[in-house]
C-alpha cells in the first residue's frame, strides 16, 4: 500500500494488487518511480536481544483457560 498527502491535506492510499504482467512493479515505469535501496534496517545485536528477552515472557502465560 502506498500512502501520500494530496494538495488539500487528505491522505490518499493506493493498494497495489495485480495478477497479470509485472504486477505492482509496473509502477516503476511511471514517472521515474524508483524503490529505495534499503527499506528496513536491522541491528543483529538488538534483534537477538529482543528475541532472547521475550522468550519466557508471553501474554499467554497469564491467561486463564
Q: Can you give the residue range of the structural domain that contains 14? A: 2-55
| 62 in any annotated domain | no
What's the pTM?
Answer: 0.26
| 60 in any annotated domain | no
Cα 60-62-63 angle, rounded to 5 deg: 65
| 64 in any annotated domain | no
pLDDT at 55: 62
Q: How many domains does the chain have?
A: 1
Positive/negative CA dihedral, 16, 17, 18, 23: positive
pLDDT at 15: 80
| 61 in any annotated domain | no
pLDDT at 18: 67
pLDDT at 40: 76
| 34 in any annotated domain | yes
- pLDDT per position in the chain (65 positions), as tens? 788 888 899 998 878 676 667 776 776 777 777 777 877 777 888 878 877 876 655 555 555 55
| 12 in any annotated domain | yes
Amino acid at each position: 500500500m502506498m500512502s501520500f498527502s494530496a494538495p488539500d491535506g487528505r491522505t490518499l492510499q493506493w493498494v497495489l494488487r495485480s495478477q497479470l504482467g509485472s504486477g505492482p512493479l509496473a509502477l516503476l515505469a511511471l514517472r521515474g518511480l524508483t524503490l529505495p535501496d534499503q527499506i528496513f534496517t536491522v541491528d543483529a545485536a538488538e534483534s537477538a536481544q529482543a528475541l532472547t528477552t521475550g522468550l519466557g515472557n508471553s501474554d499467554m502465560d497469564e491467561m486463564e483457560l
